[in-house]
């Protein structure tokens, strides 16, 4: 196992997801001609692929379009827990929307776990699926009563939950909640097999197909960057962030966060179960089969996109935690993920707005996309095939912002405004020496310019103004990206879009170097 981190020298290898590194690269074609299907799906992650599977089972012809390769985005950078336990959420949402709707939220997520298990069984997928209990624990007296209350609410909602003060972890805890029969798996082994089931018999998967617009005449058409289009009766936007974000103003109704994961070979065996703490900083833990043994995944350290000071510190903190509690023999991989969160922490699943009954969206999964992606698939299938779904009201994208989340909504948009204004002041390092692999914002004649020198020594200069709404970008040294602190867009070192809501690349500044 490669040891590519030392306290003295730092990291010698760029971030890479274990799920991607341990599976083959896909090779589906790009969209090169106009086609017609029943449902066009934008996004080739767990939401798009699971929805495509259910719709094809229902007899519809579908086409999935992915800007990169399928299952390489958020679905390829997850902790891959399949759980209805989403932190201490049930008391919160019961207070916000009432017990009746909270029960539907619980039921839908419990059903999602069973859906994934049934697809694995029916298609016969070898993806390291395993049933396990999931725990939220605390080491703080401040959370004991909150956990007790969460247990009571969860039990009332029909979840098999229980309270405990004893866990097989190498450190003491004050209290914990246990959810029975949750699960974990290898997400890409699962999704690549489901994709094979979808492709063919009038259904399609297209990779390297960047969607840039939707046109509505007699029927809807999804238009790719090369001008080719897919015409369909229904369109589903299943990308992390809706690319058509001015329909519904989703950029103002969600915020995006980065979180970090390290995969290590531990000196001690990890106990059965999946674990996450209630307090900050977050520490999420689970094991995964690796050869004849296992690896330990430790995740956490989340922050709003573009707000981190030195992103490598987050990896180091997770490594220090793992070494202190389990001992490290080697570090296999490290990677980060991007997640969207709504003001009330409940995803948006349904019509993108009431004015567009033929366009659907699924977004805002927070950090629980494996389960919520499956929830989305069931709701969207029913809305398209049957015209209704009993859970849909809970996730309605047009729902009123409940009183409990109004302050979150206001605070988020104030943060955006403050970052927009502060980014316009002429700060930044003066132009000077930039090492290979290094990026920084430099001040040239009073103008802020993003500078990055690649491994071949070529200097790339870009305008650091985000092409979404004009916020000023910040350099992310751990991922080698330009990140937007306002709405979470991310760009490559040379300005290409990595994460929405932006979909136009950064302006490049050409010089001789």
pLDDT (average), residues 138-153: 97
At residue 133, φ and ψ (nearest 5 deg) are -80, 150
**Residue 476 clears pLDDT 70, i.e. is over it:** yes
Alpha carbons 299 and 321: distance in angstroms, whole number: 10
Q: How many CB atoms lie within 10 A of CB 118?
A: 10
Percent of the chain at pLDDT > 70 equals: 88
Rg of the Cα atoms in the chain: 23
pLDDT (average), residues 391-417: 66
pLDDT at 218: 77
Q: For all residues of the chain together, what is the average pLDDT? A: 89
Here the tokens at position 186 are 């290898």
Beta-carbon-side half-sphere exposure of residue 379 (alpha carbons within 13 Å): 32
Alpha carbons 414 and 407: distance in angstroms, whole number: 10
CA torsion angle 7 9 14 17 (round to 10): -20
pLDDT (average), residues 117-146: 97
pLDDT at 425: 43
Give the residue with greater pLDDT, 222 vs 255.
222
Alpha carbons 322 and 320: distance in angstroms, whole number: 6
Q: Are 338 and 258 in contact (CB under 8 A)?
A: yes
Give the residue with greater pLDDT, 388 vs 308.
388
Q: Are 55 and 381 in contact (CB under 8 A)?
A: yes
Helix and strand counts by DSSP (H, E) for the chain:
10, 28
pLDDT at 171: 97
Which residue is associated with the tokens 């690319």? 243
Alpha carbons 346 and 366: distance in angstroms, whole number: 8
pLDDT at 422: 44
pLDDT at 54: 98
**HEC-encoded secondary structure of 332-367:** EEEEEEEEEECCCCCCEEEECCCCCCCEEEEECCCC
Instruction: Characterise 130 by phi-psi region: left (phi > 0), alpha (psi -120 to 50), beta (else).
Output: beta
447 beta partners = 444
Confidence category of residue 145, pLDDT binned at 50, 70, 90: very high
At residue 134, φ and ψ (nearest 5 deg) are -120, 140
The mean-pLDDT minimum among 206-215, 260-269, 364-373, 483-492 falls in 483-492
Residue 199, helix vs strand vs coil: coil
pLDDT at 432: 53
pLDDT (average), residues 424-444: 67
- CA 222 to chain CA centroid, Å, is 23
pLDDT at 231: 97
Tens-place pLDDT, residues 94-103:
999 999 999 9
pLDDT at 509: 82
pLDDT at 9: 60
Confidence category of residue 161, pLDDT binned at 50, 70, 90: very high
The beta-carbon contacts of 492-498 under 8 Å, at least 24 apart in sequence, are 493/439, 493/452, 493/454, 493/460, 494/452, 494/454, 494/460, 494/462, 495/460, 495/462, 497/467
Q: Are 49 and 198 in contact (CB under 8 A)?
A: yes
**Residue 399 clears pLDDT 90, i.e. is over it:** no
Nearest to 268 by CA among 331, 333, 186, 323: 323
Give the residue with greater pLDDT, 405 vs 53.
53
Confidence category of residue 308, pLDDT binned at 50, 70, 90: low
The mean-pLDDT minimum among 44-58, 245-259, 262-276 falls in 245-259
pLDDT at 418: 44
pLDDT at 465: 87
Beta-carbon-side half-sphere exposure of residue 320 (alpha carbons within 13 Å): 9
Nearest to 437 by CA among 137, 2, 10, 81: 10
Confidence category of residue 10, pLDDT binned at 50, 70, 90: low
Here the tokens at position 319 are 């490594």
Alpha carbons 275 and 272: distance in angstroms, whole number: 10
Confidence category of residue 2, pLDDT binned at 50, 70, 90: low
Alpha carbons 350 and 360: distance in angstroms, whole number: 5
**Residue 428 clears pLDDT 80, i.e. is over it:** no
Confidence category of residue 444, pLDDT binned at 50, 70, 90: low
pLDDT at 426: 47
Q: How many CB atoms lie within 10 A of CB 433?
A: 6
pLDDT (average), residues 261-270: 96
Alpha carbons 140 and 146: distance in angstroms, whole number: 11
pLDDT at 157: 97
Residue 105 exposed, middle or buried by CB count within 10 Å (0-12, 13-18, 19+): buried
pLDDT (average), residues 26-39: 98
**Residue 106 clears pLDDT 80, i.e. is over it:** yes
Q: Is the peptide bond before 484 cis (omega within 30 degrees of 0)?
A: no
Confidence category of residue 8, pLDDT binned at 50, 70, 90: low
- CA 443 to chain CA centroid, Å, is 34
Alpha carbons 77 and 26: distance in angstroms, whole number: 16
């Amino acid at each position: 196992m490669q040891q590519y981190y030392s306290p003295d020298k730092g990291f010698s290898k760029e971030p890479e997801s274990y799920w991607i590194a341990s599976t083959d690269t896909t090779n589906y074609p790009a969209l090169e001609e106009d086609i017609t299907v029943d449902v066009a799906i934008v996004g080739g992650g767990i939401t798009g692929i699971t929805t495509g599977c259910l719709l094809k089972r229902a007899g519809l012809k579908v086409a999935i379009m992915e800007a990169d390769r399928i299952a390489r985005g958020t679905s390829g950078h997850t902790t891959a827990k399949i759980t209805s336990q989403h932190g201490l959420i049930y008391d919160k949402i019961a207070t916000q929307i009432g017990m009746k709707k909270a029960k539907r939220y619980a039921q839908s997520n419990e059903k999602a776990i069973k859906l994934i298990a049934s697809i694995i069984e029916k298609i016969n997928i070898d993806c390291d699926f395993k049933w396990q209990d999931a725990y939220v624990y605390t080491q703080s007296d401040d959370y004991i009563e909150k956990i007790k209350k969460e247990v009571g609410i969860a039990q009332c909602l029909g979840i098999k939950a229980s309270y405990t003060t004893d866990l097989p972890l190498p450190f003491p805890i004050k209290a914990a909640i246990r959810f029975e029969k949750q699960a974990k798996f290898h997400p890409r082994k699962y999704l690549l097999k489901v994709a094979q089931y979808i492709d063919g018999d009038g259904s399609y998967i297209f990779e390297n197909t960047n969607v840039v617009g939707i046109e509505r005449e007699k029927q809807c058409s999804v238009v790719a960057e090369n001008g080719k289009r897919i015409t369909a009766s229904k369109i589903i936007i299943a990308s992390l962030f809706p690319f058509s974000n001015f329909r519904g103003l989703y950029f103002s109704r969600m915020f995006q966060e980065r979180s970090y994961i390290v995969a290590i070979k531990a000196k001690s065996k990890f106990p059965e179960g999946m674990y996450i703490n209630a307090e900050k900083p977050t520490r999420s833990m689970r094991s995964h089969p690796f050869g004849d043994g296992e690896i330990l995944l430790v995740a956490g350290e989340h922050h709003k996109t573009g707000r981190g000071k030195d992103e490598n510190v987050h990896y180091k903190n997770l490594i220090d935690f793992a070494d202190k509690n389990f001992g490290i023999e080697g570090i296999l991989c490290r990677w980060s993920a991007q997640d969207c969160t709504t003001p009330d922490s409940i995803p948006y699943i349904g019509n993108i707005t009431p004015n567009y009954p033929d366009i659907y969206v699924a977004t805002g999964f927070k950090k629980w996309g494996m389960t919520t992606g499956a929830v989305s698939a069931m709701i969207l299938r029913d809305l398209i095939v049957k015209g209704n779904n009993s859970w849909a009201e809970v996730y309605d994208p047009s729902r009123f912002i409940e009183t409990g989340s109004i302050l979150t909504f206001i605070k988020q948009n104030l943060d955006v405004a403050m970052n927009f204004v502060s980014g316009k002041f002429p700060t930044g390092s003066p132009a000077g020496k930039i090492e290979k692999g290094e990026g920084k914002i430099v001040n040239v004649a009073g103008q802020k310019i993003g500078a990055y020198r690649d491994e071949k020594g070529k200097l790339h200069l870009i305008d650091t103004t985000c092409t979404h709404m004009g916020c000023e970008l910040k350099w992310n040294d751990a991922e080698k990206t330009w990140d937007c602190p306002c709405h979470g867009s991310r760009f490559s070192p040379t300005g290409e879009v990595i994460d929405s809501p932006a979909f136009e690349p950064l302006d490049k500044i050409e010089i001789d170097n």
